[in-house]
Amino acid sequence: MAELVETYRGACYPWHCDHMGHMNVMWYVGKFDEATWALFATVGLTGAVLRGAGTGMAAVSQRIAYRREVHPGDLLAIRSGILEARGKSLRFVHEMRDVASGEVSALCELTALHIDTARRKAVPLPDDVAARASAAAVAYDTSSL
C-alpha cells in the first residue's frame, strides 16, 4: 500500500474565521477541494486532461470530521490518498494537520464520479488513471468519520 501524499500547505487567515474566532467550515471545504485537485493530478487527472477529454470529476459524497479548531496564523498541511478506484469513481481521504503541533484538525472522505461533461453522465475512468489510482491506494481507517 502507498502512503498519503502532501496535497496542500497554507495558512489560516483572519478572513477565514467566523464570529467564534476560528476557521469557518466553508474554508475547510475549500482547502480540501484544493487538495483534491492536487491528488487527482498524481493519478493523471489534471484539468488539461479532463478538459481535453470532455470529462470532469463530480463529488457525490463528502464526510468531514472536525477534530480541533484552526485559528488565524495556523499553518496547515493536508495529506491525501486514494482509498479505492472503482470503474467510474474514486474514493479518497484528506487529513488536515496543524503543522506546528502535528495534531489532526479535520478529516474528510469523498467519493467523486468521472463524468462526460456534455452528457452529464458517469463514464469509466481512463484505464491508465484507474491503474495508477489502484496502485496508489492507501489503507486508512475512515470509520471515525
Q: Is residue 62 part of a domain?
A: yes
Q: Is residue 126 part of a domain?
A: yes
Q: Match 457525490 to its residue by C-alpha cell.
A: 60
Q: Do 125 and 88 form a contact (C-beta atoms < 8 A)?
A: yes
Q: Is residue 141 part of a domain?
A: no
Q: Is residue 144 part of a domain?
A: no
H or E segment to which residue 57 belongs:
strand 55-66
Domain that holds residue 98: 5-135
Q: Is residue 140 part of a domain?
A: no
Q: Is the pLDDT of residue 1 over 70?
A: no
Please give the model's pTM, rounded to 2 decimal places: 0.95
pLDDT tens for 79-91 read 999 999 999 999 9
pLDDT of residue 45: 97
Report how many domains make up the chain.
1
Q: CATH number of the domain at 9, please.
A: 3.10.129.10
Q: Is residue 35 part of a domain?
A: yes
H or E segment to which residue 134 belongs:
helix 127-135
Q: Is residue 142 part of a domain?
A: no
Number of other residues whose CB lies within 10 A of the CB of residue 2:
12
Q: Average of pLDDT values for 36-64?
A: 97
Q: Average of pLDDT values for 37-63?
A: 97
Q: Is residue 54 part of a domain?
A: yes
pLDDT of residue 2: 85
